[in-house]
Structure formats: structure tokens, C-alpha cells
Amino acid sequence: MTKTLILDTNVYLTEVSSLYSFGKADIAIPTIILDEIDRQKHRQDIAGINARSMNRVLDKLRKKGSLFTGVSLGRGKGYAFTAQYDPRYMPAGMDTEESDNKIIAIALRLKFEGRDITVVSRDINMRVKCDSLGIAAEDYQPQQIIKSVDKLYDGTQKIEVDDKLIEDFYAGKEVLLPEQPNLIYPNEYLILESKSVSKKTALSRFINYNTPLQMIRTYKDIWGLTARNKEQKYAMDLLFNPDVHIISLTGPAGTGKTLLAAACGLEQVINMTKSSGGYDKIILTRPVQPMGRDIGFLPGNIQEKMMPWIAPLKDNLEYLFGDKMALEIQMEQGTVEIEAMTYIRGRSIANAFMIVDEAQNLTSHELKTIITRVGHGTKLVLTGDIHQIDNSYVDAVSNGLTYAVEKFKKFEMAGHISLIKGERSKLATLAAEIL
């Protein structure tokens, strides 16, 4: 008996490719789901993009054959067909107007007709309902770049070396790292520890085995900021490195991700000339993703509508400038741009220092859209906390920031650091640890 799957609406809105992700299994598409997908097509987020894309996918299938009788999904795959709701199969006591319940009724009808039915849904309650009625149900796991957040690359590791190597390194000699059993990536920060004296250490940046280990430059009083821990020191070293074009900074709230990036960006935009490696402007942006319940449509023009979304970015810049007037002057001159991500598609951003804050709320598709906007001479910095995700269509192992960290770690033009220690305040640090 061929296995037949019913994918819930939330699965299609998570990934359009989900329709093709189940091998030889047939896919039953309740006509109710077609209506639900269509109602989402006007949204401006990834769910809206997927809804519009799903409509085009189904229209393409329709041209290959009849969705009523079944259309092949391709070689080695099953068939997709539409399934209609029959009220006679609605379980007693359930709300007959609820879409999820109608989908369950369709599943019960197909099961009664002899099909091996499984409902795939990201909705926990939907899976519980199915199980209570004897219908197999499972969660949908979107494409994951890593199996667990514990496996996420953090940009640093400890290496045991001979005592002489550390002495030569501190003496300013060119030191090549001997081949190591552990995999080391370009621009990974290494804590060199002496094999004979464990307290004898050195901090270095690795590029490759044919290039000498790099000293980490120390930057002090950058717009009032100085690194307070070694991870922040690593981050500043990357942010000022002209050979690193994409940087990802992850860590809990209060570790200084956005503030450090903004300070280093302002220094290279305002206090450095283009000939010395400076940039024409700094661009700060973040996804329009609410925490908790959305407050709905906002009044005013485009600048007024976007103010709640960009306020956290302005807070950081006002702190660095010291007053609102200095920031407003720089924004009027075009040196500083703060905008929402909604309108970035179609732009080509050249010679800018660009910071994407809250990047953990992006999908891999949205992140690709942003990175492909980067023009010649632009440095892109992604910041975020993968443990604080407000986008219901991604999680800690499938969001765009995690994808960027894992996909770019093999390249010398990229660098990553996981910040650990909170520096915002004692209260913020304690809250991040215990709540």
C-alpha cells in the first residue's frame, strides 16, 4: 500500500519544496488548504512568499495533468491529488467550521477508503487531535544545516603546541601552525596553550597552514568602546579586517553584538578615508518581525511606520554619538542609514558597512536575498541570538543566521565569533542565565 501524506498549511508556508520532500509517498492536498494558502499570499514575509510560490507550483502541476485524478511529482516520487471535504466523516463533538477539523475529516475518509494516511503538521494541537482519532501524525522538520545548536561553529578553539612556538609567536616571528587532528577553519581564533606549561598561552587567528598565525590587534576607545573580554576582542579584530567581507556574531542578549558592530562601522565610515580602507556609509537594518502578538497596522508615512522596528538600532547609535542631534545630522547627510529589510530587494549596496541585526529571524531564502544585494567593497555583519527567535517558520537549527555561520565558515572571506559574556548590565546578564 502506497503511503499517502496530507501536509498541513503551515508546512507549505514553511517550505514550498516540502511537496517534493517525501520520496514515493503520494500527497493529498485538501481543497480547504488551497483557500488557506491563497489567503496568505498578500503577506510581505516569507510565509507570503511561499504562499505565492505554492500557487505557482500547483499551477505548473495542473498543466502536467489533472490534480483531481493525480499528477506525478517527478521520477522516483509519488502523485499529488486534491481531496474534498465530506461532512459525514467529521468526528462527533468537533467544530464543523474549523479548517483543521475538516482536514482531519478528509484524512479519516481517505483512511476509510484503504489508504495508509499520515498527517504532517507543525501545529502540536493538530498532531494531538490526529493521534486521538487514530490518525498517524508527524512534525515537519525544515532543512537543517546542523542537528543541534550545540554543534554550531563558535569560531574559536584551544590548541596545544610546543612551548617554543608560543615564544616565537610573541617574539614577532612568522609561525606556521603544525597540522592538527582537529579541523580548523579560516579566520578561526586559536588559544595556543603550551604542552609543558598550561598557563602559558597566546591568542592568534588562523588563516591556513601555509600562512603564519596572525596576532590579534587590540582596538581601544572605538567610539567609547574597548573590548571587555577575549570574544569581543576577536569580534573587533574581524570587524576591522579588510579581507573579511562577511561576519556573523552570535550570543545572548547584552553581549555587545550590535553595539560593537555599530561602533566599528562608524569608526571606519566617519574616521577613516576610503583610501585607508574606510566605507562611504553605514547601513543598519533588521527584519520586521514582532515579538509576541503583532500590534497590527501602524499609522503615518513610511518613516513613521518603520520607527518601532528601527528604534533598537537608533538606541545603539544614539548611545555611541552621545546625543540625538549628531545622529540626525549624519542621517541627513546619508552617512548613516537605518531602514527595515522589507525594501532591500532590488538594491545594490556598494562600499558600505552593513549590519543586519536580529538575523536569527530570517529564513535561509531571505538571507540569500540580502547577501546577493552586497556590492563591491561592502562588508556585511550579521548579528543575532539563535535562542531568541520570533519567526514561527524557523528554529535554532534552520534559521538564516545559523545557515550563514555553517555555510561560510570554510571561506577566508568570512569570519564568525560566538560572544558569551554579557556586558550590558549585571541584571541583563543574570536574566540571560536564569530565565
pLDDT by 10s per residue, the chain, length 435 = 679 999 999 999 888 888 998 989 999 999 999 999 999 988 867 788 889 999 999 999 999 999 999 999 998 899 999 999 999 999 998 999 999 999 999 999 999 999 999 999 989 999 999 999 999 999 887 767 777 888 899 999 999 999 999 999 999 999 999 999 999 999 999 999 999 988 899 999 999 999 999 999 999 999 999 999 999 999 999 999 999 999 999 998 889 999 999 999 999 999 988 778 899 999 988 886 644 444 445 556 555 556 666 677 788 888 898 888 888 888 889 899 887 776 676 788 899 999 999 999 888 878 888 898 899 999 999 999 998 888 777 888 888 999 999 999 999 999 999 999 877 777 777 776 776
Question: Which residue has cell 520586521?
Answer: 288
Report the residue count for the chain: 435
Taking a C-beta distance cutoff of 8 angstroms, is the pair 327, 317 a contact?
yes
Residues contacting residue 256 through CB under 8 Å, at least 6 positions apart = 225, 228, 232, 235, 419, 423, 424
CA distances from 341 to 170, 238, 245 (A): 45, 24, 20
3-138 and 230-434: same fold? yes
First and final CA of the chain: distance in angstroms?
49
In 3D space, the residue among 53, 11, 73, 23 whose CA is nearest the CA of residue 365 turns out to be: 53
Question: Which residue has cell 540626525?
Answer: 328
Q: What is the pLDDT of residue 343?
A: 66
CB atoms within 10 A of CB 186: 18
Displacement of CA 144 from its chain's centroid (Å): 11
Q: What is the dihedral of CA 314, 379, 402, 343, to 10 degrees?
A: 60
According to CATH, the superfamily of the domain at 3-138 is: 5'-nuclease (3.40.50.1010)
Tell me the backbone φ, ψ of residue 423, rounded to 5 degrees: -125, 0
Taking a C-beta distance cutoff of 8 angstroms, is the pair 384, 359 a contact?
yes
Cα separation, 25 vs 76, in Å, equals 10
The vertex-264 CA angle with 237 and 361, nearest 5°, equals 95
Q: What is the architecture, at CATH level 2, of domain 230-434?
A: 3-Layer(aba) Sandwich (3.40)
Where in 142-250 does DSSP place strands (E)?
156-161, 188-194, 201-206, 214-215, 246-250
Displacement of CA 321 from its chain's centroid (Å): 29
CA distances from 151 to 263, 277, 432 (A): 30, 35, 20
Cα separation, 178 vs 209, in Å, equals 7
Q: What is the pLDDT of residue 289?
A: 61
Sketch the domain layout of the chain as residue ranges. Answer: 3-138, 230-434
Taking a C-beta distance cutoff of 8 angstroms, is the pair 70, 110 a contact?
no
CA distances from 343 to 38, 96, 317 (A): 23, 41, 22
Taking a C-beta distance cutoff of 8 angstroms, is the pair 386, 358 a contact?
no
Q: Render the burial of 357-395: b for 16+ CB within 10 Å, e for the rest.
A: bbbbbbbbebbebbbebbeebbbbbbbbbbeebebebbb
Displacement of CA 179 from its chain's centroid (Å): 33
